[in-house]
A and B are shown apart, each in its own frame.
Chain A
Amino acid sequence: DAGITQSPRHKVTETGTPVTLRCHQTENHRYMYWYRQDPGHGLRLIHYSYGVKDTDKGEVSDGYSVSRSKTEDFLLTLESATSSQTSVYFCAIMEPSGNTIYFGEGSWLTVV
């Protein structure tokens, strides 16, 4: 158990509405990640954080923003959700050695 909690686990929202997904960790790890997983594309990095208020973009960051005001929480926001953002979103943390990342259980988001 990597001590990662994602919320909400499932959400249906309408196009154009803002959505925030939360990732909470209990292990005080420095690095946290947001990935999305889609058929045909596998796991793709959206944004990651290397400390409080320190974030950087991944390969599919357009349409997403993140914030990390506390070590334990990493928020992913879709400012104006689109149908192309229907996906499964996974939060992950990197263990201190810097070698392996561990995933949360996922947040299923449907944009209608």
Chain B
Amino acid sequence: GESVGLHLPTLSVQEGDNSIINCAYSNSASDYFIWYKQESGKGPQFIIDIRSNMDKRQGQRVTVLLNKTVKHLSLQIAATQPGDSAVYFCAENRGSASKIIFGSGTRLSIRP
């Protein structure tokens, strides 16, 4: 099942290092994947997305990798900064307006 808040897995990273956040998805028919960042007290914020016919997409300081063979998605954040502290979660779009499934999330904390 899903879990957020106190039960979230946590990734602790040294400031300046790269962060890798992982997500497993369940439906091989999903055709679009999205990463969100959610800071405390705020709504989820779109970071980057990737279509299922791609295996890599890069944005500003972020890269998403998609491995369809093992149904795995990862978000890489380069040179992690204090402002990157947040909960990150993935979502898969199963091709229907009502079929966007959200992952459980990972809390990223930054060590100075």
Contact = CB atoms under 8 A, between A and B. Distances in A.
The reply to whether chain A is a binding partner of chain B is yes
Interface of A: 31, 37-43, 45, 48, 50, 56, 58, 90, 94, 98-106
Given A42-B2, A42-B4, A42-B89, 17 more contacts: A38-B4, A39-B7, A40-B4, A40-B5, A42-B104, A48-B97, A48-B98, A98-B93, A99-B34, A99-B51, A99-B93, A100-B32, A100-B46, A101-B34, A105-B42, A106-B41, A106-B43
Given A45-B98, A90-B44, A100 B4 contact: no
Contacts of A42: 2-4, 89, 102-105
A39 B4 contact: yes
Interface of B: 1-7, 32, 34, 36, 41-46, 49, 51, 89, 91, 93, 97-98, 100, 102-105
Label chain A's interface by main secondary structure. Answer: strand
Please name the 7 residue pairs, one residue from A and one from B, whose CB atoms are nearest each other, closest first.
Answer: A39-B5, A42-B2, A103-B43, A43-B102, A99-B32, A105-B43, A103-B44
A103 B45 contact: yes
Nearest to A31: B97
Contacts, number: 63
B7 A40 contact: yes
Given A31-B97, A42-B105, A102 B42 contact: no
Contacts of B4: 37-42
